[in-house]
Structures are given as C-alpha cells and as structure tokens.
Amino acid sequence: MADTDVELHVEFRGVSKSYDGQTLVVRDLDLDVRKGELFTLLGPSGSGKTTSLMMLAGFEAPTAGDILIDGSSVRETPPRKRGIGVVFQNYALFPHMTVGRNLSFPLEIRGVSEERQAEKVRRALEVVRLEGLQNRRPDELSGGQQQRVAIARALVSEPRLVLMDEPLGALDRRLREEMQLEIRRIQHDLGVTVVYVTHDQQEAMAMSSRVAVFHRGRIQQVADPETLYEEPEREFVARFIGDNNILRGQVTAVSGGTCVAETPGGPVKAVPVRPFRPGEPTALAIRPERVVLSSRRGLANEFEARIEEVLFIGDHLRMRLDLCGNRNFIVKIPNTVGHGAVLKGDRVRLGWAQMDCRALPDERAAV
C-alpha cells in the first residue's frame, strides 16, 4: 500500500485463527480496507472469509495477530462497542418484534429519545425503500424485504462500518441481482465502508471496489474486479474468477516480458506473471472468450483441433475441444451473424494472442 493519501478503515495485522489449536482456519492474514469502499472477501466455503469477518465483528477472537479499526486495536473491544453494523447470513431479524421494533432496538439500547427513534427508523426504511412496513412482523415479509430490513437495522444507528455475511445467499437469482445494485447504491449514498463476504464470484465482481480472494485461510490476491479478471496472479484466482482454460507445461524460454512453455500440444507463447526459470512447471490460463476461431494469421498461438461438443447457451456458443493436453478446453463464441455453422466433429483452426495467455505458477504440487 504505497498510497499515503487513502485513509485506512480496517487493518488485519498477521491475524491467525484456530478453533482446535491445530488447524488454522485463517493464516497470517494482512489486509487493509480503505474508508468508503465496498471490500469483498471472496472464497469457497471453508476458506476463512466468514471467520475473518466474525473476528472483525468481535464474535471470535484472533488466535494471533491484531485487528485495527481507525488505527486502534479492537482486541479488547466487545462487539457492542465496536460501532459496527452487521447483516447476518440468515438476517437474524428478531421474530417476536415488528419491523419497527427491530429497527428501533439499537436506538432504544443507546437511549435515543422516542421522537428521534421514530425519525431514524423512518429514514432507515426510506433508504431501503420499505416505507410503511413498520408494523409487519418479519415472517410476514418476503425474503427480499427481510433482507432490506436487516440492512436497514444494521444502518439505523449510523455506523461507519458495515459487515455483510453472505447477505444474498438465500435469495433467488433475479432478486439477488437487484439487491446487489441496491446495496451498492446504499453504500455509495451513505458513504459507509462495507466489508462483504460471499462465495459468489459474479456477485463480488458486480459489487466490489476491491476483492480479496481467500483460499485455505490465505489471501491469494487483493485487487479491483477488473484486475482480478484480467491479471490473476495465482492459478487459484484464475480458476475461481470466471472461466479459464488451464494448460499445463514447462517453461522453456524466457525473454523480457514474454515466455514460451512446452505443452503436450506444442509450444505456447505466454506472458509470465513473475520471473520464471527455464524448466519450471507452469499453468497457462486462457479465457474462453479470448480464443478466436479463425484462419486469419498473426496470432501468437495457433492450433488445429476437432470440436468434441457444441452447446447452444443463447447469447453464445460453447465448444469443447481437446487441446494441448486439456480435454476440456472451452471456447466461447458470441452468438452473432455467421457463427451458426460450427458443428460437432468439425476440425477448426483457432488461436489466441500472447497477451491473452498468462503463465502462472503451477499450484498442483502446492497444498
């Protein structure tokens, strides 16, 4: 973090967590969350992202390391004094209270006067566009409405930091996409910092200012969504974010910003993400939509292969080929004029540019 003019809101400093004293759920985590950003912890289940969030909220204590909020350690601060709003996975709305009572709960606890309470509750409901539902009980609301109430409750006492733990996991796809925009809008309007946990990479891409990709308790890469997609630095990130074809091979030559790797199907020119030595194993990542079916020359990598399968997806065609040792090599072609003629069994010429092929360290050996 070379920038000195960005203000840090949350810092993880060498944080580790173990529940049983042996296996580390989170290992030596360093993380900076800037003020006013929507920061996402992304990873498969069991990767340590939720545990990290719970440590930030104060529900779990780090086994080692420290967490700082606004520059000061919160090691000794109980959850109720951290001034953090939390949106839980299953909303955790209090079923025996009306929506209004759910929202005024944190205000009552803090001794806010009744008039101010009513005003704040009204405003919070306005923010999530649920005006007039004060007197309903949570079980009388739809999943999406409950979600909005949970967000409103986390915001009602005006915290500067809001944590969300898979808040959209229980919603169907359409509603989820709507709520993604909604959360983004609220976060932007209120200018709060949001730390968001999800296992859905599309959700993370659509919403986040920056994303930290978790795998086995470690952060693989922290970057904005576009960088993560275009410039993954680890094989796990390349495979987890979007679709990627992975070709395995050995680096044979390195020169400047390029390298050549020998695959079962022949040499492939690529861009290494870090300096390689000749002979090192590598995983080459090529996005399916960057592969071009063409007879036009000039592509750094060109091959010929048989189409094993063609799937019609709607907006694109999805072809499976057997290429350079990867029997599951996927090519996506946009469904535009002139692409209807590709058939299973056809032999085609295809290729991709060198800059669309990233040489990553092979992680098969690493555990």
Partner 1 sequence: MARPLRSARLRAAALTLPLAAFVVVTFVAPLALMLVRSVHEPQVADALPRTLAALERWDGGSLPGEPAFRALGTELRELDGRRGLGAVATRVNRIESGMRSRMLATGRALGPGSPESWRDAVLAADPVWGEARAWLALQRAGERFTLRHYLRALDLDRDSSGAVVRISPDQRIYVPLLLRTLLVSLAITAICLVLGYPVAYLIANAPPSRSNLLLLLVLVPFWTSLLVRTTSWIVLLQNQGVVNDILVAVGLVAEDGRLALVYNMFGTLVAMTQILLPFMILPLYAVMNSISPEHMRAASSLGATFRQGFVRVYWPQTMPGVAAGSLLVFILAIGYYITPALVGGRTGQLISNMIAYHMQESLNWGLAAALGVILLACVAVLYAVFDRLVGIERMRLAS
Binding site for partner 1 (CB under 8 A): 57-59, 78-80, 82, 84-86, 88-90, 92, 94-96, 105-106, 109-110, 153-154, 157
Read off the tokens for 100.
């209004």
Measured from the CB of residue 204, what is the shortest distance to partner 1 in angstroms?
A: 22
Alpha-carbon 341 to chain mean position: 37
Measured from the CB atom, is 74 or 299 closer to partner 1?
Answer: 74
Question: Which residues make Cβ contacts (< 8 Å) with residue 338, sequence separation at least 6?
Answer: none
Q: What size, in residues, is the chain?
A: 367
Measured from the CB atom, is 59 or 142 closer to partner 1?
Answer: 59
For residues 215, 217, 222, 228, the Cα torsion angle rounded to the nearest 10 degrees is: 10
CA distance 326 to 320: 10
Q: Do β-strands 38-42 and 193-198 pair in parallel, antiparallel, or remain unpaired?
A: parallel
Q: Which residue in this structure is represented by tokens 């993880």?
A: 12
Measured from the CB atom, is 92 or 254 closer to partner 1?
Answer: 92
Whether the CA torsion 312, 317, 318, 319 is positive or negative: it is positive
Measured from the CB atom, is 70 or 302 closer to partner 1?
Answer: 70
Measured from the CB atom, is 75 or 110 closer to partner 1?
Answer: 110
CA distance 53 to 258: 39
CA distance 144 to 148: 6
